[in-house]
Chain A
Amino acid sequence: MQQAPGILQVLQGKFGSKILSSDMSVLDPTITVEGDSIAEICSFLKSNEALAFDTLMCLSAVDYKGLKGETDRIELVYHLFSMKHRHQIVLKVLLPREEPSIPSVEQIWDIANWHEREAYDMFGVTFNGHTDLRRILCPDDWVGYPLRKDYVQPETYRGMPVAPGKQFVEMAQDGLQVGTDPFREG
């Protein structure tokens, strides 16, 4: 079992400048890497005998916007775990909020297929090389990326009001009687 500094050392030895920074003092030691080389780094992490990260525990996207002292960005966080050696590491990639894109790691861990679809659905991150990049939780023709901090809910979807509660409040203020059906004509 390797501790996080040892894993960092191996990565720095192999990839040098593609390893941007690291933080070993937090609860889950994190290594920030360059976005374009994520696929080769993850492939190395899985195939290397001493590291053997055979499981992608979680792939999350986080939208940082408007926080004091932080640059606006979308972070992709990869939680990796090795069932063989029982050690774990966190990889982070920083992406710009406009048109974020990154190579897909679907070929390395099959579960990345669905996790990346969810990151695309909720944040709009494009994964190059993904075989089936389409929405997973929202309907296929939904507009907008819901978990972004500046997401504005559309008023209607295919002609149906998305938040009918709000419209009822407005209609009540306009004098709608309780118990009538507001969507029937006449």
Chain B
Amino acid sequence: MQVEAYVGEEMVLNMGPQHPSTHGVLRLELETDGEIVKKVIPHIGYLHRCFEKHAENVDYPGVVPYTDRMDYVASMNNSFGYALAVEKLMKIEVNERVKTLRVIMAELNRIASHLLAVATYGMDIGTFTPFLHCFIEREKVLDLFEWTCGARLLYNYNWVGGVSHDIPDGFVEKAKQFLREFEPVLKELNELLSYNKIFINRTAAVGILAVDVALSYNVTGPNLRGSGVKWDLRKDEPYSGYEKYDFDVAVGDGRFGPLGSCWDRYFVRVWEMAESLKILHQALDHLPEGDVQEKIPKKVRPQKGECYGRSEAPRGELGYYIVSDGTGNPYRIKVKSPCFTVLSALPAMAKGALIADIIAILGSIDIVLGEIDR
């Protein structure tokens, strides 16, 4: 802890690791005079569970449950990224049904994850109603997942070379029913929260993230798009059939304040849920037939080599750097977590903010400590 001599009323306060608004076990060291925060130093590591060391001791399929537990809110996307990276290393091509199923599950989980982000952000700012409305919809998505693979939050679904379970009969109708019921809820959310005058006053002028700062800190995903950069891996480096779907990339436009504010980042997430609905409609309409698991050897043993595979998780660009030594266990897996990079940019975003604004900025960058600490 770096502490210079404090004169007058300046103090060093700890926010966390137990705090209702830090979205997990995060310790923020604030140098403040009670109102204005001069410096924010994030301290992480309270949820470190040694994912990378575990991955070296199990075989490639056995890593998938560990990947789920990193970003436990959006597990489908974690194992999706891992499966993509291993398949890139082993040069496995999966069939169209697997690709479409993976996209369906990833987009449903994107909606669930953004619902949680938006709802808890509203709660941080002080409103409780949107939280309940969003969680009703989130329960419907989790019910769909439980019907498919038995789990609500940690699925072990995307395996190397396929998926673990095929969708049950009636899944497509049930999912389409959810999509029909969800569209009016998005409109309701906009009326309740997004265009709420108090919410805009709290968020539209704080936490400005400039584009060059964002790129230097490797901020990706909705946080980068909130600053006006139109970069989405699903469009710019498509994988798993995303090039077939017609959807827009949600980009912040600074309509209520400077570009790159908390409101822009928040609204990118709301807009992305609407775009996910479009993708889901197209994917559910054109679900091809096929087997959900490719014929790969029982013992997954990539050739000696390494690769870096990245995918668009709800929180940003999730990267897996996998080094293989030719045996059945990975030699090294390094995970580049999107929340890790965006949290390191928090001190730059929160210069000179009030303590209440720190809460607003922290909520808008949507972190999950499981992914930061791994």
**When A58-B321, A137-B45 are in contact, do A79 and B236 touch as well, CB less than 8 Å?**
no
16 pairs of residues in contact across A and B, judged by CB atoms under 8 Å: A28-B306, A28-B308, A54-B215, A55-B215, A58-B319, A62-B323, A79-B308, A110-B217, A110-B344, A111-B341, A114-B341, A137-B45, A137-B48, A138-B45, A146-B50, A147-B52
Encode contact with A along B221-246: 1 for CB under 8 Å, 0 otherwise.
00000000101000010000000000
Which residue of the partner chain, among A79, A109, A111, A114, contacts B319 with CB atoms under 8 Å?
A79
A111 touches B306 (CB 8 A): no
A90 to chain B, nearest CB (A): 7
Interface residues of A (CB under 8 A from B): 26-28, 54-58, 60, 62-63, 67, 77, 79, 83, 86, 90, 109-111, 113-114, 122, 135-139, 146-147
What chain B residues lie within 8 Å of A63 (beta carbons)? 332
Q: Give the 8 A-B CB pairs with smallest separation, nearest first.
A: A60-B334, A58-B336, A137-B45, A111-B218, A114-B344, A110-B216, A137-B48, A27-B307
Chain B: interface secondary structure?
mixed
Which residue of the partner chain, among A60, A86, A113, contacts B236 with CB atoms under 8 Å?
A86
B215 touches A83 (CB 8 A): yes
Encode contact with A along B309-328: 1 for CB under 8 Å, 0 otherwise.
01000000101010101000
Chain A: interface secondary structure?
loop
Whose C-beta in chain B lies nearest to the C-beta of A61?
B334
Tell me the number of A-to-B contacts counted with CB atoms below 8 Å.
82
A27 touches B88 (CB 8 A): yes
A57 touches B216 (CB 8 A): no
**Size class of the B contact interface (CB-based, 8 Å):** 35 or more
B53 touches A (CB below 8 Å): yes
What chain B residues lie within 8 Å of A147 (beta carbons)? 52-53, 332
B89 touches A136 (CB 8 A): no
A55 touches B88 (CB 8 A): no
Q: How far is the CA of A56 from the CA of B214 in the complex (A)?
A: 12
Q: How far is the CA of A33 from the CA of B53 in the complex (A)?
A: 27
Whose C-beta in chain A lies nearest to the C-beta of B216?
A110
Whose C-beta in chain A lies nearest to the C-beta of B374?
A137
Q: How far is the CA of A146 from the CA of B48 in the complex (A)?
A: 12
Q: How far is the CA of A110 from the CA of B340 in the complex (A)?
A: 13
